[in-house]
A = this chain, B = another copy of it.
């Protein structure tokens, strides 16, 4: 139990297959130390904002990895005199010109400040961090399931695994569903039916798995959605890789603040995740 706290390969334990996030050979390392960079571009997608950030010296991130971002100026002085700590964001896309895209939803002082940034403004960036997605196990077709701002890591993953991927996205309403434009060809569900299927994205998932359960699920979104996906996957014995969230102070394993409970105890999401196998929960 306790051994899992340091993370590392012990965690797999009773799981049907080893947890790749913990054993995977492919983890792109972050340069040591945060880098001062610049915002190049920003675009709106309904309530969401995509910022494009220069990162000429950084490596190409793995899909599912994340970065810690800090505005170079006025990081502090927002609501409750915050933010103070950096904030974690999944990489949305990495471009050949050495720029990175991030998808932001303004939910508090940190995201609010980052959403304010204009082209030319400075920000600090640490990453890529954590353990990303791993390819589907043999003869399983990938199904990508996203909710709200949680679609971010699915975009770069869809780019990587290509046409094969079926993508199902859930949003509150049509306005939020504008975010779906980031993943062409995705099927959409909205809570209020104002666009696409009326209901939960997990309904679409169930339907898909009904036709053919030989799939591997890649999911990112709000807690309740991920729990629903995990339940479905575990009941059918289908592997599901969940890109999870938790409050983070450091992003590189220093503070032990970001733990999530797994069947093997608490693991630090920033180093043993953010992608966690549903079977491990």
Tell me if A160 is interfacial: C-beta within 8 Å of chain B: no
Tell me if A137 is interfacial: C-beta within 8 Å of chain B: no
> A-side interface residues toward B, CB under 8 Å?
74-78, 81
Sorted nearest first, the 8 A-B pairs with minimum C-beta distance are A77-B77, A76-B77, A76-B81, A74-B77, A74-B74, A76-B76, A77-B78, A81-B81
> A68–B74 Cα gap in the complex (Å)?
23
Residue of B whose beta carbon sits closest to that of A75: B77
Q: Which has the most chain B C-beta neighbours within 10 Å: A74, A77, A78?
A: A77
Distance in Å from the Cβ of A36 to the closest Cβ of chain B?
A: 18
State the oligomeric state as a number of copies: 2
> A75–B74 Cα gap in the complex (Å)?
11
> A88–B211 Cα gap in the complex (Å)?
73
> A77–B77 Cα gap in the complex (Å)?
4
> A81–B75 Cα gap in the complex (Å)?
9
> A78–B77 Cα gap in the complex (Å)?
7
Cβ contacts A to B, 11 pairs, < 8 Å:
A74-B74, A74-B77, A74-B78, A75-B77, A76-B76, A76-B77, A76-B81, A77-B77, A77-B78, A77-B81, A81-B81
> A75–B76 Cα gap in the complex (Å)?
10
Distance in Å from the Cβ of A189 to the closest Cβ of chain B?
A: 39
Beyond the given pairs A74-B78, A77-B81, A81-B81, 8 more chain A to chain B contacts, judged by CB atoms under 8 angstroms and listed by A's residue number, are A74-B74, A74-B77, A75-B77, A76-B76, A76-B77, A76-B81, A77-B77, A77-B78
Distance in Å from the Cβ of A74 to the closest Cβ of chain B?
A: 5
Distance in Å from the Cβ of A109 to the closest Cβ of chain B?
A: 10
Give the residues in chain B near A77, CB-CB below 8 Å: 74-78, 81
Residue of B whose beta carbon sits closest to that of A74: B77
